[in-house]
Structure 1
Amino acid sequence: MKKLASMILILIILAGVTLAGCTSTGGNAAPEPTAKPASGVARLVIGTTNAVTDLNVNDYYLGIFKARTSHQGLIALNPDGSYAPCLAESWESPDASTFVFHLQRNATWHDGLPVTAKDIKFNLEYFPQKIAEYKQHWGLISSVETPDDYTVIIHLKSPNSNFLVNLLVMRAVPEHIYRDIADPAKFNDVAAMIGCGPYKFEKFDKQAGTLTFTAYDGYWGGTPSVKSVEFRIFKNQDTMIMALKKGEIDTTYMYSNGISYYYVPGLLDNPDVGFMMIPFTGVSGALFFNANKTPYDNATFRKAVSYALDYEELKNLFTAGYGSTPNAGFLPNGTYNFKDTPQMARNLNKSKELLDTIGFKDVDGDGLRETPDGKKFQPEIFARTDIADYPRLAEMIKKYLKDVGLDSKIRLADMATTTTTLNTAKTHELALSRTTPWGMMTWAGYGSCYFDPRNIGYTMTKDPKYLALVDRMFNATDEATQRQIAFEMQDYYASEMPAVALYWSDLIQPYNKKYAGWVNDPMYGIMSYGTFYGLHEV
């Protein structure tokens, strides 16, 4: 009881923390040249637990760090979620099958050569052939035209009103460097880091765990107020938070994640640390069922598992009570076109009853259920280790399943193995992962990329009813129709349970109050153009 009271007190304090120096609106589009603040920032040091291993384009977290520093795509997002110009100064779509982009005319690569339409065409054609994830995102493209150096015309195989979201993953590379690279995943030369963003790559010290970018004077949008950005990589949040307390880093950053709530009490007493509460439209913790495998293709089995889970305990353990109990419709409250479906709740009797009805019973009296044909059953819980809470979360899921007679085992994997397993090999059974705000928007939106096997498809949901919803969304061009389909998709998630949201939560972002002008990017948090161009000393 005392612990709960302490949590509530901290929440009240957090809610009242003045977010001076923070903003969540405006200033995130790739900037045009403009007057800079009177005092900029010579070096911004960002602490992270997102490990970088090499310089190639297949390094997941390196790609995240490059997205708002050294590399750019055609478009970006404003803090309100609307599309903003980037390498494309403007665009139009005469229909949902054709998209015409007009490029910035003074954009250059960091080696001084101009960025042209042919470079963009190269990226759109090269990466789907080399990296599976890009084939999933850009596989809808049938052809790309470049009538001149500054015009790119993309033709799709079929209409897709949500296609612009898929372009948000572009981190354009120069054709003159990559055209002779057979395998970009093995290209670790410094030349692999040449981009066209506001910062150019300076160095990666793997032993020291530092990744440094410096402002590029030739950037078409002008020089950022932050002259140098250094990412300092920590092995865990404990050492990272200690560095923040000591003033050795200026803020923390973990892609689509905030610091653990349990560090907040120790930071509240520090007069130099402020907090930014970031609404999170992804799902921080989710359990995905691989419908390519039996019995995970059975909705009754999936519902039985969902009833076995203790959502209130998970909320308290992993968000310290700050998060909220999720709904059956999976999408977090605050999502555009959110529908209020029934809230998830534990019901052990219901879970056992459902397992009984589909033949999962304890036939040998050892307290554990066998399959309908009497064989031993031990589902595997696959959990990624790059998110600190997940090994513990996997243990909790294992405990809950044991409560209804299901004996499970846990398999832990690093980020590279996770990407291969979930995105391509599809060898998982039950997978613990998360969804990011961008992931929830892409494909047909509303989390569809995580379910549809034609995209990433963690759940490999091949149900014609669901695929028809996705296809209808692709063709929907008016808001009323899109809203209706979004509601139907959430109803589907609630009734069929292809995945279970374990808890919802906002992100807690600490920062050093000696600087003001922090801006949240819907995809990349405080690592935004708004921050890099507007940050200044208080």
Structure 2
Amino acid sequence: MERSSGDDAFSRLTRPGKGRFSKIFQRRFFTGRLLLLILLMLSPGCSEEEDQAKVHSSGPVLRIGTTMVIKQANPVADYYYNILAMVMTHDSLVRFDEDLKPVPQLAERFSSDREGRVWTFDLDPGARWHDGRPVTPGDVKFTFEYLARHHLSSGWAGHMIEAIETRGHRVVFRLKEPHSRFLINAGFVVRILPGHIWRNISDPHKTENRAVSVGCGPFMLEDFDPAARTVSFRVNRDYYGPLPTIGRVSFQTYGTTDLLALALIKEQVDLYYQYAAGMPVPYVKKLAAQPHLACMWAESMGIPAVLGFNLSSSLVEALAVRRAVALAVDYSQLSACLMNGESRIPTPGLVPPSLSAPADLSPWKQNPDESRALLASMGWRDRDGDGVLETAQGVPAVPTLLVRSDLWGESQVVKLLARDLRKIGLKLRVRSADLSTYLAFLKEGDYDLVLFRTTPWGMMMHAGLGTGYFDGEKTQSLNLCRLKDEAFFALCHEILKTTDPDRLKTLYTKVQRYYAEHLPAVALCWGRSYFPFNKKWQGFSINQLEGGLANRFSWQNLAPSPSKGVEAR
């Protein structure tokens, strides 16, 4: 069965995002025809299209606050700048709308053969790089091959792709085996690079070439000031797609969420943006009480807190021990801590309900008595009376918990977990680290438990439903729990080669039941994502894959509210 883009896909580009939100005034657009006529008479050499371009480039500035720290304006070397490149400057072959349906972007048409082994993309002939050169199929081929060689997390491309063919405006990917999820795993996630710039860069992590910021997206990098922690973009007037309705966007990084919330209250920024996370819920009530702020929300596709087990650790390799830990957790209190009660108690199936993959599993219920009984059945005893159990081999039950220090709420979660586990005789040893050190510790594997979050994209990558966090060999990502079960890998492989929707539903249920039966990790809560913004703007839509309200779909509809003035800068 061939899958192809169509008129209905194009119509999704302007569909508003899902989520409830505070009432926003609807804008009526007024055209100053007399003023325009006078301007045209005074400037006979300017066309109406040029006048519109000037309006777009000098229009109001959208000010966005974030806690993401940008170290260099390099979409390959800097993780968080790569996120901004996705939203602002660099196009991929396709995008996914709020219903998780693929829509055209750099590829105006796309299709696959019946098996999902040959994927064809026809590029928009009007696409241009920010320096004016045309975007070619050769750039697409170069990007995939370059990233496979130079970017660790893109090594999957070499394992998946047999050949890339180009002719005219067409790019054809011939895969080594069927891959039904090629659009999400490759067509969306890979930002296409200009080959004429990157071809001479041997090490993308060490280059000082400023041209690496050049993309073909709707905005161009205007200024990056690491000292002031600001990044600003101006509209690309030659963009081949729908032109954004705003002229400039600036991002300001704040050291803490407290400072960012205060900036929203003081109207120093217009919008909150943090990739893969909404505004922490404890701040939302205070922000919503401000007369100039509104808030949109959606059921989160990601999981705000997950407790993973290092299955290579002798301390937690036994399923009975993992189940004992899971049953010791007070999920209600964790929900109150992270989400002010605005969440659901998760099931052992891990996957949040927003992904529409029900598996008929009951939510977790705290049961410390059963936890103690399970540990006792494994021969764990408190032999020296210090309140801490020892294993049957006499090893103290002191698991090392690895956590990220740069994520909001982690310290509170750790305190609650430590309290709950101490009640069943386990004493946590906490190892807290920033992102780079955390990743290094993960590679070493010197931990028993790991606290992490899953992003909306993370839940979609690989075979979907979070499988990419556990099948690291195929995704070239870290296998957080060091899962080595061939049965799980075979299940993922079957999903990737299956195109039948009914069969996929059955397989997705099996994935969740695998999580529930083997417990490689436990979701600590399922939540909502909240996105506050200033009411002087209207037209936002939520796209969780792109991180919230700052996304390509918002850029096409965003405008100042008619009752609020927005300063042009």
Q: Contact 2:140–2:171 at 8 Å: present in 1 too? A: yes
Q: In the alignment, does 2:279 pair up with 1:259?
A: yes
Q: 2:153 aligns with which of 118, 133, 147?
A: 133
Question: How far is the alpha carbon of 1:464 from its aligned partner?
Answer: 2.4
Give the distance between the partners of 2:541 and 2:20, measured in 1 at CA.
19
With over 3 angstroms needed to count, the CA separation of the structure-2 counterparts of 1:437 and 1:21, relative to structure 1, is farther
Question: How far is the alpha carbon of 1:292 from its aligned partner?
Answer: 2.7
Q: 1:490 aligns with which of 506, 512, 525?
A: 512
2:380 counterpart residue number: 360
- Identity %, equivalent residues: 32
With over 3 angstroms needed to count, the CA separation of the structure-2 counterparts of 1:55 and 1:17, relative to structure 1, is closer
Give the distance between the partners of 1:213 and 1:488, measured in 2 at CA.
45
What per-residue deviation string (whole Å, max 9, x for no partner) do you get for residues 235-280 of structure 1?
1111111111111111101111111222223223321111101221
Give the distance between the partners of 2:438 and 2:108, measured in 1 at CA.
36
Q: Contact 1:327–1:340 at 8 Å: present in 2 too? A: no
1:103 counterpart residue number: 123
What per-residue deviation string (whole Å, max 9, x for no partner) do you get for residues 339-364 of structure 1?
23121111111111112222332222
379-388 vs 455-464, greater mean Cα deviation? 455-464
SS of 2:285's equivalent?
A: helix
2:355 counterpart residue number: 335
2:491 counterpart residue number: 469
Q: Contact 2:337–2:412 at 8 Å: present in 1 too? A: no
With over 3 angstroms needed to count, the CA separation of the structure-2 counterparts of 1:262 and 1:360, relative to structure 1, is same
Question: How far is the alpha carbon of 1:467 from its aligned partner?
Answer: 1.7
TM-score, L = length of structure 1? 0.90
Question: How far is the alpha carbon of 1:370 from its aligned partner?
Answer: 2.0
Q: Contact 1:19–1:275 at 8 Å: present in 2 too? A: no
Amino acid at match of 1:59: D
Indicate the structure (1 or 2) with the bigger Cα radius of gyration. Answer: 2
SS of 2:550's equivalent?
A: coil
Give the distance between the partners of 1:102 and 1:358, measured in 2 at CA.
60
2:335 counterpart residue number: 315
What per-residue deviation string (whole Å, max 9, x for no partner) do you get for residues 86-123 of structure 1?
11111111121111111111211112211111111111
Give the distance between the partners of 1:201 and 1:309, measured in 2 at CA.
46
Q: 1:143 aligns with which of 140, 156, 162?
A: 162
With over 3 angstroms needed to count, the CA separation of the structure-2 counterparts of 1:139 and 1:146, relative to structure 1, is closer
1:160 counterpart residue number: 179
Q: 1:43 aligns with which of 43, 50, 61?
A: 61
Question: How far is the alpha carbon of 1:517 from its aligned partner?
Answer: 0.3
What per-residue deviation string (whole Å, max 9, x for no partner) do you get for residues 149-181 of structure 1?
422111222212112111222112111222222
Q: Contact 1:55–1:189 at 8 Å: present in 2 too? A: no
2:39 counterpart residue number: none
Q: In the alignment, does 2:518 pair up with 1:517?
A: no
Q: Contact 2:63–2:271 at 8 Å: present in 1 too? A: yes
Q: In the alignment, does 2:523 pair up with 1:505?
A: no
Give the distance between the partners of 1:260 and 1:522, measured in 2 at CA.
15
1:529 counterpart residue number: 552
Question: How far is the alpha carbon of 1:135 from its aligned partner?
Answer: 1.4
1:290 counterpart residue number: 310
Q: 1:216 aligns with which of 229, 236, 239?
A: 236
Give the distance between the partners of 1:102 and 1:421, measured in 2 at CA.
43
Q: Contact 1:118–1:149 at 8 Å: present in 2 too? A: no
2:106 counterpart residue number: 87
Q: 1:443 aligns with which of 462, 465, 468?
A: 462
Q: Contact 2:164–2:171 at 8 Å: present in 1 too? A: yes
Question: How far is the alpha carbon of 1:45 from its aligned partner?
Answer: 0.4
Give the distance between the partners of 1:243 and 1:408, measured in 2 at CA.
37
Give the distance between the partners of 1:535 and 1:86, measured in 2 at CA.
19
What per-residue deviation string (whole Å, max 9, x for no partner) do you get for residues 261-319 of structure 1?
22223223321111101221111111111223323332222111101111011011111
Q: Contact 1:144–1:152 at 8 Å: present in 2 too? A: no
Give the distance between the partners of 1:306 and 1:132, measured in 2 at CA.
33
SS of 1:519's equivalent?
A: coil
Give the distance between the partners of 2:190 and 2:145, measured in 1 at CA.
12
1:387 counterpart residue number: 407
1:408 counterpart residue number: 428
Q: Contact 1:141–1:155 at 8 Å: present in 2 too? A: no
1:77 counterpart residue number: 96
Amino acid at match of 1:217: R
Q: Contact 1:325–1:343 at 8 Å: present in 2 too? A: yes
With over 3 angstroms needed to count, the CA separation of the structure-2 counterparts of 1:426 and 1:59, relative to structure 1, is farther
Give the distance between the partners of 2:153 and 2:168, measured in 1 at CA.
28
Give the distance between the partners of 1:320 and 1:298, measured in 2 at CA.
33
- How many residue pairs are counted as aligned between the two chains? 512
With over 3 angstroms needed to count, the CA separation of the structure-2 counterparts of 1:67 and 1:419, relative to structure 1, is farther
Q: Contact 1:36–1:225 at 8 Å: present in 2 too? A: no
2:80 counterpart residue number: 61
Q: Contact 1:224–1:532 at 8 Å: present in 2 too? A: yes
Q: Contact 1:251–1:512 at 8 Å: present in 2 too? A: yes
SS of 2:244's equivalent?
A: coil
Amino acid at match of 2:86: A
Q: In the alignment, does 2:327 pair up with 1:304?
A: no
Amino acid at match of 1:532: W
Question: How far is the alpha carbon of 1:465 from its aligned partner?
Answer: 2.2
SS of 2:122's equivalent?
A: strand
Amino acid at match of 2:541: V
Give the distance between the partners of 1:493 and 1:414, measured in 2 at CA.
28
Give the distance between the partners of 1:105 and 1:486, measured in 2 at CA.
38
Q: Which runs of 5+ in 2 are unaligned?
A: 1-18, 28-48, 562-569
Name segments (4+ residues, structure 1) moved above 6 Å.
none
Q: In the alignment, does 2:138 pair up with 1:118?
A: yes
With over 3 angstroms needed to count, the CA separation of the structure-2 counterparts of 1:222 and 1:485, relative to structure 1, is closer
What per-residue deviation string (whole Å, max 9, x for no partner) do you get for residues 202-236 of structure 1?
11111111111111122111431111111110011
CA RMSD in angstroms comes to 2.3
Question: How far is the alpha carbon of 1:476 from its aligned partner?
Answer: 1.7
1:480 counterpart residue number: 502
Give the distance between the partners of 1:372 and 1:328, measured in 2 at CA.
27
Question: How far is the alpha carbon of 1:190 from its aligned partner?
Answer: 1.8
Give the distance between the partners of 2:230 and 2:549, measured in 1 at CA.
19
Question: How far is the alpha carbon of 1:187 from its aligned partner?
Answer: 2.5
Q: Contact 2:280–2:408 at 8 Å: present in 1 too? A: no
Question: How far is the alpha carbon of 1:481 from its aligned partner?
Answer: 0.5
Give the distance between the partners of 2:20 and 2:501, measured in 1 at CA.
36
Question: How far is the alpha carbon of 1:425 from its aligned partner?
Answer: 4.6
Amino acid at match of 2:555: F
What per-residue deviation string (whole Å, max 9, x for no partner) do you get for residues 22-60 of structure 1?
99xxxxxxxxx9x999x9752100000111122232322
203-212 vs 256-265, greater mean Cα deviation? 256-265
With over 3 angstroms needed to count, the CA separation of the structure-2 counterparts of 1:22 and 1:290, relative to structure 1, is farther
Give the distance between the partners of 1:295 and 1:130, measured in 2 at CA.
37
Q: Which runs of 5+ in 1 are unaligned?
A: 1-14, 24-32
Q: Contact 1:69–1:200 at 8 Å: present in 2 too? A: yes
SS of 1:518's equivalent?
A: coil
1:275 counterpart residue number: 295
Q: In the alignment, does 2:208 pair up with 1:185?
A: no
Q: Contact 1:22–1:519 at 8 Å: present in 2 too? A: no
Give the distance between the partners of 2:127 and 2:554, measured in 1 at CA.
21
